[in-house]
Amino acid sequence: MCGIAGIVGARRLAPGDADRARRMTGVLEHRGPDEEGFHLDDQAALGHRRLSIIDLATGQQPLCNEARSIWIVYNGEVYNHADLRSELESRHRYRTRSDTETIVHAYEEWGDRAVDRLRGMFAFAIWDSRRCRLLLARDRLGIKPLYWALHGDRLVFASEIKAILESGLIPAEPNEERIPEILATRYLSDSETLFRGIHRLPPGHQLFFENGRVRVVQYWDLPLDPPANAGEETSGRGAARTVARFRDLLEESVRLRMMSEVPLGVFLSGGIDSSVIAALTARQLSRPLETFSVAFADRAFNELQYSRQVADAIGANRHEVVIDEHDFFGALPRLVWHEDEPIAHPSSVPLYFVSRLAREHVTVVLTGEGSDELLAGYGKYPRALWNWRLGGAYTRVVPPAIRAVVAGRIVPGLPASAARYAKRSFLAVPHTPEAAFFDNFAALPLAAQRRLLSPRMSALATPEAAYGPSLRVFEAARRLPLLQRVLYTDIKTYLVELLMKQDQMSMATSIESRVPFLDHVLVEFAASLPARWKLSGLTTKRILREAARGLLPREILERPKMGFPVPLGRWLRGGWGEAVREVLLDRRSRERGLTAPAEIESLLAAHRAGRTDAADAVWSLLNLELWYRTFVDGDGVQVLPAPVRAVAA
């Protein structure tokens, strides 16, 4: 795991570009604290920060081929590099034992299609000086990040946006047209970022920069054809073969991701995903596995009893960290700097703390990320599908005038507990994908945005702005059955944001995280399965539950999903609510002109009084304001005001 950065010109680099590349690379020290390296020539300045995992002695970067004409800087791990090496070393002379050198020789051998042969997580830049051409590539699922920008006839790239800004070539200008999407979905689902002119390379894509022109090409996608007969049987011998095949692929994925010359452990929450990964990892070790868990001091939001049960069942050494609201809000501003964009989910903060704990013991961790999107693990999937099916019948049978009365009068008049659910059902939600699948689950739905944002910003809050990019992904999968279509969309959008959270929070502590559920061979097999192997009635992740029998205690396999809830709403009703209010309503925020101060004041008061749960909305708005201050205003890492009771004390 590393950090990469560079500047490549269509012609000679400008004076000072070498120094710019050095500054860019230096900003990424947390991604690679072990070593720093550079390659400089007339047209390219490539920088690398190394976190040593494989080939500790000779795996330094940038690395070149035998003729010194092809150079690479690379972040990630290629787990099948030994197999590829046995195929390549008869025609290429190796000088190291690293997977990095295998990528170089694979490019020499197979050109731009070399990426098809790689199994793993990666983001790399190959400078081909013979052709004066730069190739950027990102892994299929987007586990490793890669960003780029153009400045005249030069292309600037890096593992993190802050490194591009450090070049001084690209200003930190807000991409305000994309704020409605950030507030609604928590992420941007295409190649743009919240910085104008800075782009992310999408998962499964390559970028070619040659003669001053950029060309982006997709090399991989999830299957877009309806599942064939694979796994059709859900009982009997055929079903057993399907479950065995899934288990074999998952075990292989775990085994591949144990490739390391440094200590390795597992993030363990006590849920089925991380528990299965921990159990499979423990079986392949000759010593006790190291597991790492995080919880909140608030006992209602503490799952340590489950992670302890799993760790004890598999004979692991468990390590735990418990954090409180002061830890949470104290770390938040620095984590906004690490994330580069507003933090999507409050769970990013405890992820940082468990990563910091793990770094005291290991350098590599395996995680359970990705299973929910792959195998329909969230509770929203059965709810959304039933809501859509009932809504279709309701729309066909009930006249529009009656539907309007139900939505406008009857649903709001229901008792509070019933109205809370009815407002998100087909009785009140239009039967459109953007309403049923996106706005219905938004952190800040469009109606709330139009109320809370300033007139200038609320004019931007249109369905196209908030949900257009996600809808285009949804439409691209129109041939798939409905559940597969929703999963495809989440894998291409929501999951990418979760993976960025995983990358940035772990790399903030210089630790490498690996995701066995997202091995592309396993992903392609799971995508080929009929929906009932994923969602069977109200049972989620059916095939994983069956494959895990005998690995884990029954109560772990069968307990309801808890996710990783954060007591943010409770904290915002206490002293931290006033601290957040001070940020959202101070002179600086008012002069920025993004929000409507009176509406923000009203929202905070309603939350404090318990009349509404505004935690998601407040979280999104707070992170957006901290992002502006950190990057756009150029003030660096912020400090939140102390909570009221701390001041009083």
Active site residue 2: yes
Which of 394, 488, 460, 495 has its CA nearest to residue 594?
460
Which of 547, 545, 628 has its CA nearest to residue 583?
628
Let me know if 571 is exposed, middle or buried by CB neighbors in 10 A (0-12, 13-18, 19+).
buried
Which of 135, 172, 140, 171 has its CA nearest to residue 155?
135
Place of tokens 């070049």: 167
3-state secondary structure of 636: coil
3-state secondary structure of 176: helix
Q: What are phi and psi of 411, to 5 degrees?
A: -60, -45
- Estimate to the nearest angstrom the gap between the alpha carbon of 404 and the chain centroid: 38
Q: What are phi and psi of 78, to 5 degrees?
A: -105, 110
Q: What are phi and psi of 289, to 5 degrees?
A: -75, 145
SS (H, E, C) 146-174: CEEEEECCEEEEECCHHHHHHCCCCCCCE
CA–CA distance, 562 with 270 (Å, rounded to integer) = 10
CA–CA distance, 159 with 176 (Å, rounded to integer) = 23
CA–CA distance, 494 with 474 (Å, rounded to integer) = 12
CA–CA distance, 282 with 551 (Å, rounded to integer) = 11
Q: Which of 2, 222, 362, 622 is catalytic?
A: 2
Which of 596, 603, 604 has its CA nearest to residue 580?
604
For 79-146, give the DSSP string.
TTHHHHHHHHTTTS----S-HHHHHHHHHHHHGGGGGGG--EEEEEEEEETTTTEEEEEE-SS--S--
Q: Which residues are known to be catalytic? A: 2
